[in-house]
Amino acid sequence: MSYVSLMVHVDADSDLSGRASIAADLADRFHAHLIGVAGWAPMSVFLAEEALINPSTTVPDLLELKAALDRKGQQFCSAVRKRDREVEWRSGLDFPTEVLSREARAADLVVIGNERENRDPFRSLDPAGFLLKAGRPVLVVPASVSSLSPKRIGIAWKDTREARRAVRDSLPFLQQAERVTVIQISETNERDEQAFRSVKDIARYLSRHRIEIVAERVEPAGNTVAETLFRIVRDDNIDVIVAGAYGHSRLGEWVFGGVTRDLLAKSPVCCLFSH
């Protein structure tokens, strides 16, 4: 199993961020096709509909938006293209979250930032919204991270559907890691026998996928599960956290579980999420 197609979100009107170079490096690591994607929605839904019907429309606003996206595509391709790396650019006159969600069908893994680039919903990606709509594993890169060497990976394990998918979706990373730690944070102070059995099952599962250097940790929660996980990340010099994303849409807003929300907003390292 490997990633053969990687996709990265590119903000339409800001400088290229560190995640573009991270995505390019990962494309080399996995010998994958690299796709950059950006979106920018017109201020009027009627203009967007007209653009779909007649792409050659002469409406100045649409022409200006399309030209801006084309320039960003040229900038992206110039920055990441090199010999033996396949690079592609895609863009759309729609909300970035909607554009990226549609285009995600072409990728094994999507790379995004962990926060909105700006407050304008017409040109900024909503990371939380995309995470739950993607249907693909998503690597979330904190704004402070500009490079990634995924040698030590921590699996934030919980015996749920989302966590099982995250382990499966992250196998290409795990198979190339120097060390993998399966971490379950127990919210009880008593010895959690079920947690120990569950963690050991995951370690055995990984060994069958030729991932041999696996550590197992079941830790009691401190103040919060996320804070305990971040302490382990610091102590063990973990480069990437693998986790299930828990959340749903309610009355048009995305509602996350507390750990997912904290990982998305506060993680000091990249997180690979599956929902």
Q: What is the CA radius of gyration of the chain?
A: 20
Q: For position 36, what pLDDT does the model report?
A: 97
Average pLDDT over residues 91-116: 95
All domains of the chain, ordered by start, with CATH?
Answer: 5-141 (3.40.50.620), 152-274 (3.40.50.620)
Give the per-residue pLDDT at 19: 92
CA 190 – CA 199 distance, rounded (Å): 16
Question: H-helix or E-strand containing 147?
Answer: none
pLDDT value of residue 248: 63
Could you give the 3-state DSSP secondary structure of residue 38?
A: strand
Q: What are phi and psi of 243, to 5 degrees?
A: -150, 150
Residue 34 CB contacts under 8 Å (≥ 6 apart), including other chains: 6, 7, 8, 23, 24, 27, 80, 85, 86, 87, 88
Q: How far is CA 92 from CA 12, 74, 237, in A?
A: 10, 15, 39
Determine the Cα–Cα distance for residues 264 and 80; give it in Å rounded to an integer: 26
Residue count of the chain, please give it.
275
Residue 258 has a pLDDT of: 78
The alpha carbon of residue 229 and the mean position of all alpha carbons in its chain are separated, in whole angstroms, by 19
pLDDT in tens, 222-254: 778 889 999 999 999 999 999 998 876 654 445
**By C-alpha distance, which of 239, 208, 237, 235 is closest to 219?**
235
Do 135 and 104 contact (CB within 8 A), yes or no?
A: yes
* DSSP 3-state of 183: strand
Over residues 197-212, the pLDDT tens digits come to 999 999 999 999 999 8
Which among 58, 223, 248, 37 has a CA at the least distance from the CA of 162?
248
Q: 3-class DSSP state for residue 25?
A: helix
Residue-level pLDDT at 271: 97
What count of other Cβ atoms lies within 10 Å of the Cβ of residue 28?
Answer: 12
pLDDT digits (tens, 9 = 90+) for 140-182: 999 999 999 999 999 999 999 999 999 999 999 999 999 999 9
pTM above 0.85, yes or no: yes
pLDDT band at 257 (very low <50, low <70, confident <90, very high): low
